[in-house]
Structure 1
Amino acid sequence: MNCLRRLTPLLSRTTTALCPLSSAIASRPVLLTTAKTSTKSLLNRQYRRWTSSSSSSPVLSTRSDDEAVYIDWNAAYANHIGLFDNNITSSYSHVWLRDNCPCEACVHPSSRQKLHSMADIDLNTTPRSIHLDTSTDTLVIEWEQPLRHQQQHEGGHKSHYPLAYLRRYASQQSSQEFRFENLIPRTWARDEYQLEWISHDDYMTTEQGLHRVVEKLYNDGLVFLEGVPADDHQSVTRVAERIGNIQETFYGRDFDVKNVAKSVNIAYTSLYLGFHMDLMYLDCPPGIQLLHCMKNNVTGGASIFLDSYRAVELLKQQYPECYDILRKTPVSFHYINNGHHMYYRRPTIVTDEGYGLGSSWNMHVNYAPQFQGPMDELTPKEMKRFYQAFQRFADFIEDESLRYQITLQPGQLVLFANRRVLHGRTAFDPASGDRHLKGTYLALDSLKDKVRTLGAKYGMNPV
């Protein structure tokens, strides 16, 4: 159920007359309904409405009916600048308000977890009284019905909603901004990526350094650290744990990327390793990968990266029908080796599935030719169309103008978004020296967490 909706100017003009307050009483609680009014009579008329013409007030007016409470937000209010393009009216259903009461009886004060379920809310719940306390910018509601699991004599619950709390959910735009779901990642080609070496010490010891890494990791999907202890085998996991918990896989908490005999992964050879993403055969592939260079004195062995989002943009522009095929056709990924049988099917391109997640996280790419399994569910005609679409996408991925190449040196570390940035390696001569990278993974949720918490404190610069 959508608890938020915009009301048209016509609706505002057809409501009952306003009940303005004089400036002498503007700081007192404003009663929208009286506790003595019966529920039946309350539902048969428009509630009273409070108005304010002051730009220093967050709310222009507030009213209610038998379904919801309506708040007319003041776009000129200082804290609303940029949040609302125009004055808007937000509706908060009674059911939604009762379910989302933020008091300590409804939300545990230390764990911040709800103490009741949506299933506990009476569908006919109605306010016994409503008033706006302008001295504290709080909407206060006393409820008529108890929760479904409570006895009738336990009714009369009183909820206090800070206007700042309600403002978060005033519109889809405001709730997405609160959760940092309105960001738009910038895509890049080889000559557009701006290499910036971030100090390991700054990242590990300052919140600003951590924020810079998180910000660039979101914007570009690719960030580099320098000054990482090259002889410390735990450095890569310590760097990762500044963002979140390690996502352990069947490779362990971390893994070594170096040339070994009879390897169980093509990455553990000296061969050319084409563009791919890791662990596409898992139910939840890692969101972030880290690689720490500990040794690298071989001939060859450069790291290569590519922004798959740019490749998707080009495919969509030039071959929209291929773009649609790759969005709708699941690809088989598997790992059958060394006592494991991993398998998962997912489309090459995944976009917003209608859940209103906003622009920040509404796409990811699944591309790992080395781990693709046989596709056995398409007809011959469908198979040919898919292969053509996939090949056109692969042609963009192999475009040299999109490929960023760098040879990591000992003490350097790269973090990249595994569901966005493709990575690989040029071939190297194992007889020419040693090449040893240490790797680990993080879940994408860890990055989202840091984007929201650090973004709320320092902002998120889109450029």
Structure 2
Amino acid sequence: MYDVTIAADARSIALSAGTTAPVRFHAIWLRDNAWDPETRSPGNGQRLIALRDIPADTAIASAEVAGNKLRVTFTPEGKTVDYDIAWLLAHAYDRAHAQGRGRAAPRIETWDSGLMSAVPVADFAVVKSDPAALRGWLAQVARYGFGKLTNGPVRDGALFDVVDLFGYVRETNYGRHFEVRTEVNPTNLAYTGLGLQAHTDNPYRDPVPSVQVLYCLESSAAGGENMVVDGFRAAERLKAENPDWFDVLSRHCARFEYAGSEGVVLRSRRPMIELAPDGELVAVRFNNRSTAAITDVPFDEMETYYAAYRRFGEIIDDPTMEVTFRLNPGESFVVDNTRVLHARKGYSGTGTRWLQGCYADKDGLLSKLAALSGSFAEAAE
């Protein structure tokens, strides 16, 4: 049984149950989050009013608990709204908030080479036909930042079938997709047999494509194994080793540029380690091939910046950070391009190696995961 108490100034309430600590909510927050049909559209849940339509002096005239509902009457509107208590508690903000710069979000798990024995992998045909399997695989991708699919079709354009599982292709100057195989006079080093340092793609874009798909169609050349590194774990390691180095890479912007194709000049200015205002890790941008002259670091900090940049690269290159796997025809992997760096080992000029790649966006993947999770939760009720 829940109890509700109105604060002396009527600007907030406290909701409690038994011996548990009370959870407080401000009157203005409650009014803004009302779900009555005059405030929210019944069809899509979007607000029908703006904050300007809510009186600035909103207070609570009365509040009472009735079963699993909290009924609140607001003044000066004289409006009464019922709230689901479970929803209120799930969205409570009167709690201890996470502290510290460089922390990962609660929903994700950082990793190193120890994940090699538990690579998130699923069968393409299964996730395509079974929503529960798709939800499970997408949840792993969201948690670890990458995932592999096996037993897909071996045909030109099959990578679009992977994107169709969760979202939409993001077209760039490379087209709807790009070929990854050896070329003569390539416009990008990705099209050679050289090994590539672990990197995030397209750091010169704003915003960067937040999901990348690589799909294997041919793989008879020796070498060319794919490799992924958790950029957030690398950032955590740098912070643990030298907080000043972490700080300098997260406080100052690097610059990135690509001008390898006629008529294309792409530039961006972002930190290599990007944090939200509350200190949560947001993104890592790291690509030695596309880093332009760094000009946004003060003279007195530039040597420290380069020491930090060097060490961050050494951590990323550390074999204990990498998870390596080979893609065979019909196999693919999806990577969160804002977090997980990818690379490949060098491969020989004999045999063939043909991958196709494309970009998508993480909001589509997370939207699909949320929708599937909601559907299963409703079915369980």
Alignment TM class, shorter chain as reference: 0.7 to 0.9
Shift of 1:280: 0.7
Shift of 1:454: 4.3
1:386 aligns with 2:308: no
The amino acid across from 2:118 in the alignment is Q
Identical-residue share of aligned pairs (%) = 25
The amino acid across from 2:366 in the alignment is K
Corresponding residue SS for 1:290? strand
Shift of 1:141: 3.1
**What are the equivalent positions in structure 2 for 1:149-160 lying under 5 Å apart?**
156-160=78-82
Change (3 A) 1:174 1:202: farther
1:342 aligns with 2:266: yes
Change (3 A) 1:246 1:198: same
**What are the equivalent positions in structure 2 for 1:4-153 lying under 5 Å apart?**
57=1, 59-74=2-17, 87-127=20-60, 129-135=61-67, 137-146=68-77
Change (3 A) 1:72 1:97: closer
TM-score by length of 1: 0.73
What is the alpha-carbon distance in structure 2 between the residues aligned to residue 144 and residue 190 of structure 1?
57
Verify the 8 A CA contact 1:185 1:218 in the aligned structure 2: no
Structure number with greater CO (CA < 8 Å, separation at least 6) is: 2
2:130 paired residue number: 206
Change (3 A) 1:67 1:369: farther
1:373 paired residue number: 292
What is the alpha-carbon distance in structure 2 between the residues aligned to residue 237 and residue 332 of structure 1?
31
Shift of 1:175: 11
What is the alpha-carbon distance in structure 1 between the residues aligned to residue 295 and residue 232 of structure 2?
28
Change (3 A) 1:143 1:323: closer
What is the alpha-carbon distance in structure 2 between the residues aligned to residue 206 and residue 424 of structure 1?
31
Verify the 8 A CA contact 1:254 1:439 in the aligned structure 2: yes
1:281 aligns with 2:199: no
Verify the 8 A CA contact 2:252 2:297 in the aligned structure 1: no
1:168 aligns with 2:117: no
1:321 paired residue number: 244
1:226 aligns with 2:150: yes
Q: Which runs of 5+ in 2 are unaligned?
A: 99-104
What is the alpha-carbon distance in structure 2 between the residues aligned to residue 94 and residue 381 of structure 1?
49
Shift of 1:335: 0.9
Corresponding residue SS for 1:183? coil
Verify the 8 A CA contact 2:121 2:137 in the aligned structure 1: no
1:417 paired residue number: 336
Corresponding residue SS for 1:428? coil
Corresponding residue SS for 1:239? helix
CA deviations on 1:319-375 (whole Å, 9 max, x unpaired) are: 2222222112211101123211111111111233228xxx6xx34211011100111
Shift of 1:440: 1.8
What is the alpha-carbon distance in structure 1 between the residues aligned to residue 72 and residue 321 of structure 2?
57
CA deviations on 1:378-408 (whole Å, 9 max, x unpaired) are: 4554322211111111111222222222221
1:441 paired residue number: 359
Shift of 1:124: 1.6
Change (3 A) 1:159 1:268: same
1:183 paired residue number: 107
CA deviations on 1:405-456 (whole Å, 9 max, x unpaired) are: 22211011111221222111222233x1221111122222233334544455
1:8 paired residue number: none
Change (3 A) 1:140 1:191: closer
Shift of 1:191: 6.3
**What are the equivalent positions in structure 2 for 1:247-286 lying under 5 Å apart?**
247-286=170-209
Verify the 8 A CA contact 1:133 1:139 in the aligned structure 2: yes
Corresponding residue SS for 2:334? strand
Q: RMSD of the alignment, in Å? A: 2.7
What is the alpha-carbon distance in structure 1 between the residues aligned to residue 81 and residue 150 of structure 2?
52
Give the total of aligned pairs.
371
What is the alpha-carbon distance in structure 1 between the residues aligned to residue 233 and residue 116 of structure 2?
11
Shift of 1:173: 5.4
Change (3 A) 1:375 1:131: closer
What is the alpha-carbon distance in structure 1 between the residues aligned to residue 4 and residue 30 of structure 2?
18
What is the alpha-carbon distance in structure 1 between the residues aligned to residue 278 and residue 173 of structure 2?
33
Shift of 1:207: 1.6
Verify the 8 A CA contact 2:219 2:328 in the aligned structure 1: yes
1:10 paired residue number: none
What is the alpha-carbon distance in structure 2 between the residues aligned to residue 240 and residue 175 of structure 1?
35
Corresponding residue SS for 1:371? coil
1:301 paired residue number: 224
1:353 aligns with 2:277: yes
CA deviations on 1:126-147 (whole Å, 9 max, x unpaired) are: 34x5342524x3223344434x
What is the alpha-carbon distance in structure 2 between the residues aligned to residue 406 and residue 321 of structure 1?
34
What is the alpha-carbon distance in structure 2 between the residues aligned to residue 62 and residue 352 of structure 1?
35
Shift of 1:190: 5.3
1:400 paired residue number: 319
Shift of 1:184: 4.1
The amino acid across from 1:159 in the alignment is V
Corresponding residue SS for 1:300? coil
TM-score by length of 2: 0.88
